[in-house]
Chains A and B, each alone.
Chain A
Amino acid sequence: MIMKGQKRKHPPEEVEISDRSSPMWESQRQLVFSVSLNKYHHGQELPEPSLRRSVLIANTLRQVSLEAFAAPSVDIEVSPPPCSSSSALHKSVVTAKQHPAETFSNSHSALVSCPTVTLNDLSYCVPASNAPLSLKDEDEDWGSLSKDSDFSLSAAISSILTALDSTIDSCSQAAPRTPLRSLENLSAPSDGGVAWVKQGLRGYGGGWEQQEEGREWESSTELMRCSYLSELTVEDLFQDIDTSLLERDMEVLGLIGSGGECPTGDDLLRYLPPFSSSPSHPFSLSLNQNLKCLPSLSSFGPLSSSLPSLSSPHFSSQNHVREGLDLEHLMEILVES
């Protein structure tokens, strides 16, 4: 209902867009994708979501993803369909239906079980170009602002977060834990990987400097992570991690600085996988460069003051390089754009 004195705005979706080459089609597709993702997660939070609704949403997600893959004007390289977010979500939907009482855990385990969601795939998800995003109007709905790069990164983030969930689900199949997942759990549980990502985007520079996009990211990934991490503590997630090998490295890396009372710093190092005696990793040369992205880690509360510079001489030794391998590798993937 338009109140008197208010200017009518042209409704954004007056026309049914069936022309794939139209730019509106792409934006609508992304909107539908994000809304569907949202709905899926909200549905999972319900004690017993409607099966019909879940199936329809999952089918829509799958269709939207397939159309993205088939669309000729798509700029981004999307990860191969066999394990797109939609199919992963679909699996989670239908798996969840088996045991409604375990919807929370089962859905996540099903998502994790998607075999092709790996770091390699995530590298495809970042936009090919570094074109800066245009400044959006602040009063537009976040969902309608998603562009190609936002969309792909949101897909990447969701994949990361879903990969995270194998640790949540105690009943799940044994899912391989990756370093990426461990980093995701660094901060306080309520932050998850979102703040990290946000800061990472900001720290990178280029087209990511606008606060609006950061907020969009936060809101989009917020929804995804809330359902995964809201009720868990970091300790719960990593009860099975052997920390003995890593504790000494914490000092070396300087992450336990003065006093060492940095719970998040402890978490960071506790969960870095033990390094092997492998030869120098090809990434080591770019370590310093990549670690410059690591200012994102400074967003983790108490850690901020105790992360002087990760490109400090602390990293000069081979061992320390290897320790940071997984760390910088995932950073590279997520932040590279």
Chain B
Amino acid sequence: MLSPIQVLCSDITTLSLEPEPFASYTEADIISTVEFNHTGELLATGDKGGRVVIFQREPESKCEPFSQGEYNVYSTFQSHEPEFDYLKSLEIEEKINKIRWLPQQNAAHFLLSTNDKTIKLWKVSERDKRPEGYNLKDEEGRIKDLSTVTSLQVPVLMPMDLMVEVSPRRVFANAHTYHVNSISVNSDYQTYMSADDLRINLWHLDITDRSFNIVDIKPANMEDLTEVITAAEFHPHHCNLFVYSSSKGTLRLCDMREAALCDKHSKLFEEPEDPSARSFFSEIISSVSDVKFSHSGRYLLTRDYLTAKVWDLNMESKPLETYQVHDYLRSKLCSLYENDCIFDKFECAWNGSDSVIMTGAYNNFFRMFDRNTKRDVTLEASRESSKPRAVLKPRRVCAAGGKRRKDDISVDSLDFTKKILHTAWHPTENIIAIAATNNLYIFQDKLNSELH
């Protein structure tokens, strides 16, 4: 059972563990991406206002062996500002679309953040010591009167309050005509790729003035455009392999060794359409909104509007497993099309051992599916049900007019404005981060923590 270890509000000025009445928020506070780093020690969130907030997990206290490490704000910085494209007379949103951490190679942490057009590499470093005892400057920094200096001293590093410094190290700009939807760091730790609606570019982390185009699906005549790229990711171990998904529900695995331009895929993963289930919205709901390699690199997890699918890289003809996330919406597709909910892009996540997958839904519900036991659970991320140390209660959605148990919620009562689009799972532990509009919830598996 998952218990909330912390309920956080993205507006850090009102950060509190006490449940508060739900205050109105600005659109800039809406969380647009969540990502754990490779050790799980840091958790980064990006919002629509272009800000990045990094949380750090407090080390578990030895005095309280069962206390769970809590995540506290580590650093906040403005990653992207609104820009104006003068050529097209368009404003470029500062919303952070994706954050990806680089593997840590020294004391500093590096992350990539991107908005629609520009990717930036940020260095996050700590400073907890400062030199004292300068010869030419006094403690306040004023230049000393040289006549008063009688002897030389060696400055000594003295401890100071921890200061987290964030600085932009690289800015990768002007390489995307269309909106960047994905970034993915390669396992070689030297390159990364950025994908927009029609193209994927390969960058070197040290080179900002050029990138290499590796996928281009833009047709010669834009009138022939029927498909766009929706997500892309590098293989976790093979630096030559990457996958990208499309709005038509296909996945393409590409090998960069085959050709410089990987328009021709190595493998095409596509499930044939069930003719009996065909509707006007078949294509829209088949559009893949997220794709993630498993940690092992053997499987792919994809999310389309109604399902989550696990694919085996060795089998292109159909998915290995299909999980119905909210099939009760299948009869509501017309309404969801009218109110644009059908275009929502839900993300998905693997747990550390690739045995459980997780994805979000509406009404602040999120779903987890155990691949081994085939059990699934629906949980809600809300202030009312997420008091600290409380155990989350499984929820159930019943069909309209169907038999209803206590605490069940009817399909017609779902709040489609509350959607869990962004979720993240700790790389090794059962800790999950759920972004619900402007709130960030962090839940931990109580059972597992008790076993420690």
A contacts, CB < 8 Å to B:
1-2, 11, 13-18, 28-29, 31-32, 35, 39, 47-48, 50-53, 55-56, 58-60, 63-64, 67, 90-91, 93-95, 97-101, 110
- Contact call B287/A52, Cβ cutoff below 8 A: yes
- Contact call A94/B225, Cβ cutoff below 8 A: yes
Secondary structure class of chain A's binding surface, majority of residues:
helix
- How many residues on B have C-beta within 8 angstroms of the other chain's C-beta atoms? 41
Per-residue contact bits, chain B 265-281, to A (CB 8 Å; 1 contact, 0 not): 00000000000111111
Contact of A51 among B87, B89, B197, B279 (CB under 8 A): B197
- Inter-chain CA distance A2–B280, complex, in Å, is 28
List residues 214-262 of chain B with CB under 8 A from any CB of chain A: 221-228, 230, 247
Separation in Å of the B68 CB from the closest CB of chain A? 37
- Inter-chain CA distance A99–B276, complex, in Å, is 40
- Contact call B227/A55, Cβ cutoff below 8 A: yes
- Contact call B228/A35, Cβ cutoff below 8 A: no
Kindly list chain A residues whose C-beta atoms are within 8 Å of the C-beta of B389: none
Kindly list chain A residues whose C-beta atoms are within 8 Å of the C-beta of B179: 50-51
How many residue pairs, one in A and one in B, have C-beta atoms under 8 Å apart? 97
Separation in Å of the A266 CB from the closest CB of chain B? 35
Which of B178, B225, B230, B335 neighbours the largest number of chain A CB atoms within 10 Å of its CB? B225
- Contact call A51/B228, Cβ cutoff below 8 A: yes
What are 12 inter-chain pairs, A to B, with CB distance below 8 A?
Answer: A16-B331, A35-B338, A48-B88, A52-B228, A53-B343, A56-B247, A94-B222, A94-B224, A99-B88, A101-B87, A101-B89, A110-B223
- Contact call A91/B413, Cβ cutoff below 8 A: no
- Inter-chain CA distance A18–B331, complex, in Å, is 11
- Contact call A95/B223, Cβ cutoff below 8 A: yes
- Contact call A55/B87, Cβ cutoff below 8 A: no
Kindly list chain A residues whose C-beta atoms are within 8 Å of the C-beta of B230: 52
- Contact call A64/B280, Cβ cutoff below 8 A: yes
Contact of A18 among B87, B276, B334 (CB under 8 A): B276
- Contact call A13/B331, Cβ cutoff below 8 A: yes
Per-residue contact bits, chain B 296-339, to A (CB 8 Å; 1 contact, 0 not): 00000000000000000000000000000000001111110110
- Inter-chain CA distance A60–B412, complex, in Å, is 25
> Knowing A28-B280, A56-B287 touch, does A35 contact B197 (C-beta < 8 A)?
no
List residues 328-382 of chain B with CB under 8 A from any CB of chain A: 330-335, 337-338, 340, 343
Separation in Å of the A113 CB from the closest CB of chain B? 9
Kindly list chain B residues whose C-beta atoms are within 8 Å of the C-beta of A1: 412-413
Kindly list chain B residues whose C-beta atoms are within 8 Å of the C-beta of A56: 247, 283-284, 287, 343
- Contact call B334/A32, Cβ cutoff below 8 A: yes
Contact of A59 among B277, B283, B340 (CB under 8 A): B283
- Inter-chain CA distance A271–B370, complex, in Å, is 70
Enumerate the 3 nearest inter-chain pairs by beta-carbon distance, A residue then B residue, closest first.
Answer: A101-B88, A94-B222, A94-B225
